[in-house]
């Protein structure tokens, strides 16, 4: 990982995640019609943080929050098999608004798979997408975020990664 | 993420991490099977033939369901009613089927080694659904999955395999798998149905006293008495077998602690297992059947990557 650039440090990232959480509150409070779903594996730390934050602001308010694994819905299975993670949706999504939460939006293929996986669990009235980083001009499918932390320009050989741990941050590096 | 083997011919060829991958993946498929739409598109570009040269209820239905839940196209072949009766060889039959662009073959055959033979001669991925008295790998995997679900881990689990060890492919696959995953294995049954020197060959215990075996184990995997594979008298009557080795309520009560009872099916009720045990809370038998679909989905999914 030479030539890596930090595009968001811990403070910036937390600020962005809190801003996204407030946007979700603005549009969805008091959440009785809405459920939040983190996309496995990398969207889940993001959604964990945001949901913890929202729950902190509204203690006692029930918020439906689940995790969705999309491994079996990927369109690149014949090229490479991926390790499946846990799916846990302990609520019905039927006729409710669903907010999908992920870390980086790139080609849009993960979200396509997530929509398929989601619809196998019921028919939501509306699906929205919330991402921390939107990589512009790289989409391969007509998919756009409703809530976006940061939009960046990047080229195909570069990768964007959100790193968790004691000092969460977002980096951009050359993968070639 | 892929398995270390291209085919699933037996547990013997698998590495412990392969077993781990299959069981972990099966866990996720089990969740898929609880959804309103119990289907994923993973194998929609794959065609699978189920080639059954021997009778089967559970395994065939379970494989077929697993394939459909993965969106694969399936063809079913049973030896009766096919050109096998006109004298067509196994290899000819399979090559003819494969020329119709089939990617995977799930096969059961009464001849030991039939899937191994095919795997060396045809380009398709072969999944062994039971070959003669050799192995029945997916049964052992679903047994392991069921035990892991109940006990949390296979490491250190005490598994007694009871009954006709000699003729049982389920027993052999289970012995391989349990030993690979760190479980302790005790074999119990009449001396005529337990091969000699099996202790040293597989590092397992042998206990001819069924009550002692039950007192020792966490899980009792009771096997079917396979009358169709026995061509000599190995015990005098079924009634005598039942009295000496059959698992009944009285025997389990004597142990004084709960034991999980498993059986690969079909059960000879009143012979190796009494109905009051088979239908009791001790029994994991229907859970095994349920888990079978998830485990077979995992196997097919993990083998599909190499085609």
Q: Answer whether residue B81 shows pLDDT above 70.
A: yes
Which residues in chain A land under pLDDT 70? 1-2
Instruction: Tell me how many domains chain A contains.
Output: 1
What is the tens place of the pLDDT at every residue in B191-217? 999 999 999 999 999 999 999 999 999
> Considering only CA atoms, which of A32, A2, A49 is closest in space to residue A165?
A49
Query: Pseudo-torsion of CA A119, A122, A123, A128, nearest 10°?
Result: -60
Task: Count chain A–chain B contacts defined by CB atoms under 8 A.
Answer: 53
Tell me if A86 and B31 make a contact (CB, 8 A cut-off): yes
**What is the 8-class DSSP label of residue B223?**
P
The predicted structure's pLDDT at residue A65: 97
Q: pTM for this one? A: 0.91
What is the tens place of the pLDDT at every residue in B211-238? 999 999 999 999 998 877 666 677 888 8
Pick from A68, A81, A118, A119 the residue to mutate for testing the B interface (most B CBs within 10 Å).
A81
For residue A129, being part of any structural domain is answered with: yes
The predicted structure's pLDDT at residue B78: 87
Handedness of CA A98, A103, A109, A110 (dihedral sign): negative
Distance from CA of A93 to the nearest CA of B (A): 11
For residue A162, being part of any structural domain is answered with: no
What is the tens place of the pLDDT at every residue in B10-34? 999 999 999 999 999 999 999 999 9
Of B1, B42, B304, the CB nearest to A83: B1
For residue A174, being part of any structural domain is answered with: no
- Strands A64-68 and B260-262: what pairing? unpaired
For residue A170, being part of any structural domain is answered with: no
The predicted structure's pLDDT at residue B231: 62
CATH fold of B137-284:
Rossmann fold (3.40.50)
For residue A105, being part of any structural domain is answered with: yes
> Considering only CA atoms, which of A59, A77, A78 is closest in space to residue A113?
A77
Phi first, then psi: give them for residue B91, nearest 5 degrees. -65, -40
For residue A122, being part of any structural domain is answered with: yes
- Determine which helix (DSSP H) or strand (DSSP E) holds A126, and give its type and residue range: strand A126-135
Could you tell me if B243 lies within 8 Å of chain A, comparing CB atoms?
Answer: no
Distance from CA of B306 to the nearest CA of A (A): 8
**What is the 8-class DSSP label of residue B135?**
B
Q: Mapping DSSP to helix (H, G, I), strand (E, B) and coil, where does residue B8 land?
A: strand
For residue A169, being part of any structural domain is answered with: no
Tell me if A73 and B1 make a contact (CB, 8 A cut-off): no
CATH number of the domain that residue A78 is part of: 3.40.50.2020
List the domain range (segments joined by +) for residue A137: 12-155
CATH 3.40.50.1370 in chain B is located at 11-134+289-304, 137-284
For residue A102, being part of any structural domain is answered with: yes
Tell me if B24 and A69 make a contact (CB, 8 A cut-off): no
Q: What's chain B's length in residues?
A: 307
B:97-136 residues touching chain A, CB 8 A cutoff: none
CATH classification number, B11-134+289-304, choose in 3.20.10.10, 3.40.50.1370, 3.30.70.2190, 3.30.2270.10? 3.40.50.1370
Average pLDDT value over all residues in chain B: 93
């Amino acid at each position: 990982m030479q030539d890596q650039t930090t595009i968001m440090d811990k403070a910036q990232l937390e600020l962005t995640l809190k801003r996204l959480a407030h946007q979700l509150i603005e549009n969805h409070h008091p959440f009785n019609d809405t459920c939040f779903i983190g996309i496995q594996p990398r969207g889940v730390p993001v959604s964990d943080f945001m949901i913890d934050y929202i729950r902190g602001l509204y203690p006692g308010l029930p918020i439906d929050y689940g995790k969705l694994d999309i491994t079996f819905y990927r369109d690149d299975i014949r090229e490479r098999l991926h390790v499946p993670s846990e799916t846990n949706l302990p609520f019905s999504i039927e006729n409710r608004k669903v907010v999908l939460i992920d870390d980086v939006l790139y080609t849009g293929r993960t979200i396509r798979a997530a929509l398929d996986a989601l619809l196998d669990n019921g028919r939501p009235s509306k699906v929205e997408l919330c991402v921390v980083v939107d990589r512009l001009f790289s989409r391969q499918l007509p998919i756009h975020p409703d809530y976006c932390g940061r939009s960046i320009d990047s080229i195909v050989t570069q990768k964007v990664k959100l790193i968790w741990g004691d000092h969460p941050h977002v980096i951009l590096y050359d993968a070639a | 993420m892929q398995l270390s083997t291209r085919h699933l011919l037996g547990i013997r060829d698998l590495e412990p991490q392969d077993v781990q991958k299959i069981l972990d993946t099966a866990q996720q498929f089990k969740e898929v099977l609880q959804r309103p739409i119990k289907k994923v598109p993973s194998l929609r570009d794959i065609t699978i033939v189920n080639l059954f040269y021997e009778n089967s209820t559970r395994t065939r239905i379970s494989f077929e369901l697993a394939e459909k839940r993965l969106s694969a196209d399936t063809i079913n072949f049973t030896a009766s009613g096919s050109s096998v009766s006109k004298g067509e060889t196994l290899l000819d039959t399979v090559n003819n089927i494969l020329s119709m662009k089939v990617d995977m073959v799930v096969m059961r055959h009464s001849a030991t080694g039939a899937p191994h033979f095919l795997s060396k001669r045809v380009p398709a991925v072969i999944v062994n659904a039971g070959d003669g008295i050799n192995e029945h790998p997916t049964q052992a995997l679903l047994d392991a999955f069921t035990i892991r679900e109940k006990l949390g881990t296979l490491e250190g689990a005490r598994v007694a395999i009871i009954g006709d060890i000699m003729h049982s492919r389920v027993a052999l696959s289970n012995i391989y798998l349990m030993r690979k995953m760190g479980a302790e294995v005790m074999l119990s049954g009449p001396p005529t149905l337990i091969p000699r020197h099996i202790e040293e060959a597989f590092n397992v215990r042998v206990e001819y006293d069924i009550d002692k075996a039950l007192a020792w184990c966490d899980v009792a995997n009771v096997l079917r008495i396979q009358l169709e594979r026995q061509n000599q008298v190995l015990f005098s009557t079924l009634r005598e077998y039942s009295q000496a080795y059959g698992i009944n309520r009285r025997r389990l009560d004597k142990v004084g602690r709960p034991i999980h009872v498993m059986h690969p099916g079909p059960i000879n009720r009143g012979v190796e297992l009494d109905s009051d045990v088979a239908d009791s809370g001790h029994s994991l038998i229907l859970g095994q059947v349920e888990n079978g679909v998830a485990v077979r989905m995992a196997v097919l999914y993990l083998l599909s990557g190499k085609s």
